[in-house]
Amino acid sequence: MATDLEARVRELEAKVLELSERDAIRDLRFRYHECINEAKMADISDLFTEDGELEFGHLGNAKGREQINSFFSGLAGTPSKTGEPPRRRLYRVKQFIHNHVIRLHGDTADGYAYLEAKPVYNGESYVVAARYDDEYVKQNGHWMFRKMKLTPYFMVPLKEGWAGDDLLQMGR
């Protein structure tokens, strides 16, 4: 009986560890979107490994924290106090994540999540649908992004919608 109980406890401990790791990775993805939604672009690079990578297709790519920081600071912007258009291209971004799937492989993992976003780009409201594909790594007890790839389904002005053929209008 003791052996059976010990095996059951080991099994439960392994399951709790797995659930804890999954929750930590979900928290990492949620912190990324909190940074985007709250315009804390300077904090995003800290979520990546030193050699982390971004592949954002037509929007651009970056490798390493310095380039990642430059990439996001180049996208961000806020409207001026005088009511003029924003000094930068992208602001008032709100992102919503769906169906975050995680596959654990010890101290590495991969996964994906679907994105619905509502940004203002060059003074115009857009609707965005895309998929994030991620590679994660656990370093010094913390999960980080090793690679983040964005595959857009559509990025179109709200007034036009996504029924047309030109589906990647944002970022040009």
Which domains does the chain show, CATH number per domain?
A: 2-157 (3.10.450.50)
HSE value, Cβ hemisphere, 13 Å, CA-based, for 107? 5
Average confidence score pLDDT of the chain: 89
Six token digits for residue 81: 């106090």
Band of pLDDT at residue 73, cut at 50, 70 and 90 = confident
CA distance 47 to 90: 21
Q: How confident is the model at residue 82 (pLDDT cuts 50, 70, 90)?
A: low
**In this structure, are strands 124-139 and 90-105 parallel, antiparallel, or unpaired?**
unpaired
- With beta carbons less than 8 A apart as the criterion, state whether 33 and 114 touch: no
User: Which pLDDT score is estimated for 81?
Assistant: 53
Q: What is the pTM of this model?
A: 0.86
Q: Does the pLDDT at position 151 exceed 50?
A: yes
**Paired strand residues for 39:** none
Percent of the chain whose pLDDT exceeds 90: 67
Residue 7: what residue type? Answer: A
CA–CA dist 96, 1 (Å, integer):
49
Phi, psi of 13 (to 5 degrees): -60, -40
Q: What percent of the chain has pLDDT over 70?
A: 91
Looking at per-residue pLDDT, the higher value among 55 and 79 belongs to: 55
Residue 135 contacts residue 142 (beta carbons within 8 Å): no
Res 43 pLDDT > 80? yes
Sign for the CA dihedral angle at 111, 135, 98, 151 comes to negative
For the stretch 84-141, pLDDT in tens is: 554 457 778 999 999 999 999 999 999 999 999 999 988 899 999 999 999 999 999 9
The pair of structure tokens assigned to 146 is 């090793």
- Give residue 76's pLDDT band: very low, low, confident or very high (50, 70, 90): low
Identify the pLDDT of residue 78.
47
d(CA 158, CA 142): 38
Instruction: Grade residue 80 by pLDDT with cuts at 50, 70 and 90.
Output: very low
